[in-house]
Structure 1
């Protein structure tokens, strides 16, 4: 194997200008794949780390007999920013230390996250600080989801009414006071939703990425097959041919993988600034770690080598056929069965299915589209040849028929991205509406306070308000406090209410929809990221495959030029060869994506803005693919202008 690596290195070095260009294309393709793969792994690791650090904020209830503390979690708001307020009371000397603190908080102590500490110092006291006791210390990052999370930890007495545990099932188990044995906590509903959405996005990005990476191993395949076939004809054994192929692919992919890893390492700190769940990220969250990095650097070259070996059967079995440039065997229509089965399975998946099921099904659809793509391209070629008018259309059609696999590699990226666009385009929701008018209504449980007392107390705090009772006959009275729709006035009213009605939280209409607004906004950002990344991969794939195709077929193009074919006709033929499969396969993949996305749109996450996003991305993506293919025209002129007549 060492000798095979040495021979392959010498062959790559002596491949000439065009041969080195083909190798460079493969390196770039592998680098892009590696960089995006590491970024996808980093995103999954970041969400997992955030969920693990914030799990303690959602208490895991225990029985009173085994409890060591009482805990409640609630959310308050300051200028549309949520503050997670954790109230704790020890039931004995064995109470565990909360994450991010050096000791269990004593009654009257107040700890704040760094972001909340900074906000307390920059905000007038009557808008925020008066809600809490004097600051005792900071909450460490081990207890925070991100650098900007606002977290307050309060120490209370065990008998404090604010920590009274009800014998009846609570309305909201995530916020109701509960006995706890430790701070293991549970994954919140919100975190579970993000986990599902992230895994869907990962499947949307990684599946075409892996296919793109595998295709990178088969770039300049004709040039390599011809060279290896010549080696077989002069006596090289099948084992030697396989070894040299693996060595060449692994060497090239290893360089690309290292380059992609360096680009990721240089940019992962920038990824940490992308806000999700209302906060940015700790930079360390976006670092995959040495083990994952090493695993990717090893796996990518090995997978690339395996992909290169898959196409060697024709060289090993019939090197003479390759040397004589015989047409490869046809593709069977049985591939359609795999696509039909995958689409049926995808149409049966609902929004309530598990994340792993959704990922497997979507991955199966990607693979099925990639499997059936060359067969469809071949059919398109036969139909085009039957109705071709003019030399350019005939050349394009015959090329599609002769080697549909190579033609598919040019449009595979955009076809797979079309499926992504069709699927996620429906999952681009609108924004929840806020309250209407010039008044903000704050709802607060009355406790022992009356409407008149709240009116007088707010007036004394300098906040004119109109207080009414929402439902006088209800078991638990809720008071509605209407104030001017001004952030300063609203925050002052909430701070005053925290004193007037201890233990009760004033929530405005905007606060009620805040979490939903953040979620829908993150979905919109996620959809755009998935579409942008997918179309960037598709455009890069098309450009690299187009240039590689010219290098593979430079002898054929050169002979056509020598026979008198104008360069304009060859370029027109190449354009048609890309456009027709692009429209057919891209349109079909978009339709398949919409079909698979309908069950999720029916679940209530659909908005007409998704169709606008889909249309814009598809138009720009298709235009980008055609432009990337057109950029290789100077290369065609270069390779056809250097060929001279030969006896064969």
Structure 2
């Protein structure tokens, strides 16, 4: 029976060949996307394993009393906006532990660097980078210690006497636990659970349209296949034999598609590794698959194809006469709107009632998003029916009337082929709305803003006595490209004023009216770029970096700081809290940083506000890029589903259409009918999914961050319009089939 089924599948003419090819392509796309997602999760785990050694300071103490300790200090440095991991070590004996990637601990005056940092040292003037690292390079850090090919890492050898005053810790072992498994928290690494959640959402948004594509392809020429299998039942074939034949057809296409999908994944793996969606690129080998992954996909996809085939042909398996008993399905009911409304109500409820814990917030918001998404999928047929009835009721042309009636009679079929867009467009709209608003409010400042061109060196009170003005390097002001060097002094008012419960003006926030530092108005006016003083004030309270929350208020160039009750002569007597260097070039910025690091090696390294915010901002932008990938990949797949659905519908309805042509209906009228049957659900779903996505994003932003949704950039709308245009173009490519399939010969009774 299996041999007969194979012959029947391969010898069914062009129709059978086309069906196998389409199913194989759909399966290949789904397998490729699924493998890429599984490999991405494995790559995050691999990257986290190589982050482990950088968290050595949080490792529990060794149980071996004979283990020799090592002094360990890790700090974050920057260059040109990129983070540099600076590890400083000092051995206390010959058996001190050695980090991975290097053959031995560096001696005082020696250091090992990662390949990316080594290249940067060779191409950057020493005054801007190399001079801040004491000693000379003795080797390169190996791949076993590098989370990414782009990692900037350096391991510097020191003496115990140099490291102990800097706050270094004694350790007796190198950390080997992945950051996501740190018992007491880690300094660096990836939130594996959060990244897995993001990748899972991306995978679902990519796979859902592909699954719809597979289901649509399986139904290609479903009427003809059902009639053929029904005829076999009538001449004596058993339900089991019909099941075997349909299963063989499905498995044959799915097996070929699965093999092609594995090849597709291997072909695009190098390109996937170059996408820094965790903040840094992967090594290509990190995008690997476990044996469980391979077996689950290789066996699960064909098995799923068998189940889909059985469901598609269940009427024939019940009774051969079931094919002839076709009736108009019951219309969908309005109850399908309940999950959609419930999800919106849940998100709206938490506006002003944000849960206090992270787990509570995840439960509240994620469940709301899932309810809305489920509601969109459930309500789709009902909304399609309502739209089709309105279309038919207002029809002034035959094509509009016919298309509206057909959609109203079977809205589930009309919605099914475009339902894959729901997940993609909803996820993309939510991500775009949230990320656009977040970046506008808290994102990385512009590269030409004062938040990006000003370098700040902090002197926290807990780090010891503040430096004197004589200790600040005099050469800072002589660096070409340095516009100003400003000493910011501590505010003698140690704490914000108490909140007044009565008589407080509306919108007054005492915490934003107090800042930890002070500066004279004469100095602030001379600087010109760090805000202004209120009228009549001589001293104002300012942020340590002279920027504060203005870093995210990029439209406010005339920020007015609150006045401080202090005489200008008293400002210089206050401890120095920070040094702010404003520059006009990147070279001056890095040279000033190197000079400050060498002058104050025990302090935290200087940086700009833009650099300190760059990691989170870049990660948000990378999430936005993933959302764009979801949309750009899903729209053409949805177009292919529509095209297959149209082609299958034309094949199933070629006789009725041929009869209409014989009665005088023009070909262009039939083409308009087919176009309306596909365009109306497509555009309806697109508008609905995007609108619900933006509404859900707005409710989340109001509840979690008290932000108002901002309109996305024009590029978002251009991508949506371009994707829809591609989808409609794919659909239009099937319309020429109408002339060939509906000729006069089709109307004859065979």
TM-score, normalising length: structure 1? 0.86
Unaligned runs of 5+ in 1: 166-175
Q: Is the 8 A contact 2:74 2:88 kept in 1?
A: yes
Are 1:546 and 1:632, in contact at CA under 8 Å, matched by a contact in 2? Answer: yes
Alignment-derived partner of residue 644 in structure 1: 746
* Bigger shift: residues 569-578 or 262-271: 262-271
Deviations along 1:571-624, one digit per CA (max 9) or x if unpaired, are 111111123323333333333323433354333487635264543333333333
CA RMSD of aligned residues (A): 3.6
Is the aligned partner of 1:498 residue 2:597? yes
Q: What is the CA distance between 1:329 and its match in structure 2?
A: 5.9
- Tell me which residue corresponds to 1:633: 735
The question of 1:400 aligning with 2:392 is answered no
Residues 506/336 of structure 1: CA separation in 2 closer, same or farther (3 Å cut): closer
Map 1:610-621; keep pairs closer than 5 Å. Answer: 610=712, 612-621=714-723
Cα distance between partner residues in 1 of 2:386 and 2:736? 30
Matches within 5 A, 1:206-245: 206-245=207-246
Tell me, in whole angstroms, the C-alpha distance in 1 between the residues paired with 2:404 and 2:459. Answer: 74
Question: Displacement, 1:449?
Answer: 4.8
| Cα gap change, 1:388 to 1:557, in 2 (>3 Å) | same
Contact 1:29 1:541 in 2 (8 A): no
- Residue of structure 1 in register with 2:544 after alignment: none
The answer (yes or no) to whether the contact 1:414–1:586 under 8 Å persists in 2 is yes
Structure 2: how far apart are the matches of 1:631 and 1:486? 54
Structure 1 residues 213 and 476, CA, compared in 2 at 3 Å: closer, same or farther?
farther
CA offset at residue 269 of structure 1? 1.0
Correspondence list, 1:168-183, <5 A = 179=171, 181-183=173-175
Q: Which residue of 2 aligns with 1:168?
A: none
Tell me: CA distance 1:511–1:414, structure 2 relative to 1, closer, same or farther (3 Å): closer
Q: Does 1:390 align with 2:380?
A: no
203-212 vs 513-522, greater mean Cα deviation: 203-212
Tell me the equivalent position of 1:56: 53
1:479 correspondence with 2:584: no
3-state SS in 2 of match to 1:433: coil
Residue equivalent to 1:440: 454
Are positions 1:32 and 2:24 aligned together? no
Alpha carbons of 1:275 and 1:543: their partners in 2 closer, same or farther (altered >3 Å)?
Answer: same
1:471 partner SS: strand
1:375–1:457 distance in 2 versus 1, CA, 3 Å: closer
Q: Which runs of 5+ in 2 are unaligned?
A: 181-186, 493-516, 518-573
Structure with higher Rg: it is 2
Say whether the 8 Å CA contact 2:5–2:244 is kept in structure 1.
no
Q: Shift of the alpha carbon at 1:479? A: 3.5
TM-score by length of 2: 0.75
Alignment of 1:463-478 (within 5 A): 467-472=485-490, 477-478=576-577
State the alpha-carbon separation in 2 of the partners of residues 532 and 356 from structure 1.
29
| CA shift for structure 1 position 305 | 1.8
Are 2:76 and 2:84, in contact at CA under 8 Å, matched by a contact in 1?
yes
Cα 1:479–1:357 change in 2 (3 A) is closer
CA distance in 1, matches of 2:615, 2:217: 42
Counterpart CA distance in 2 for 1:33 and 1:360 is 26
- Please say which of residues 419-428 and 355-364 is displaced more in the overlay: 355-364
Secondary structure of the 1:274 match is: coil
SS at 1:77's partner residue?
A: strand
> Is the partner of 1:608 in helix, strand or coil?
coil
CA contact (8 A) 2:646 2:731 kept: yes
Name the structure 2 match of 1:541.
641
**What are the equivalent positions in structure 2 for 1:352-431 lying under 5 Å apart?**
352-353=358-359, 366=373, 368-429=375-436, 430=439, 431=443
Structure 1 pair 400–146 and aligned structure 2 pair: CA distance change class (3 A): same
CA–CA distance in structure 2, aligned partners of residues 451 and 54 of structure 1: 40
Asked if the contact 1:414–1:621 (Cα under 8 Å) also holds between the matched residues in 2, the reply is no
Which digits, 9 at most, give the CA deviation of each residue in 1:511-570, with x for residues without a partner? 233323323332332332232223233223222322232233333333333443321111
Contact 2:71 2:164 in 1 (8 A): no
CA contact (8 A) 1:89 1:155 kept: yes
* Residues in 1 aligned to 2:245 and 2:347: alpha-carbon distance in whole angstroms: 41
- C-alpha change, 1:439 and 1:428, in structure 2 (3 Å) is closer
- Mapped partners of 1:190, 1:259: distance in 2: 35
Distance 2:205 2:212 in 1: 12
- Please state whether the residue corresponding to 2:489 is helix, strand or coil: coil
Is 1:16 the counterpart of 2:18? The answer is: no
1:110 positional shift: 1.0
CA distance in 2, matches of 1:206, 1:20: 24
Contact (CA 8 Å) 2:33, 2:203: kept in 1 or not?
no
Aligned 8 A contact 1:425 1:611 in 2: no
* Counterpart-to-counterpart distance in 1, 2:60 and 2:747: 90
Q: Summarize the Cα distance change of 1:337–1:455 in structure 2 as closer, same or farther, 3 Å threshold.
A: closer
1:234 and 1:63 mapped to 2: Cα distance?
76
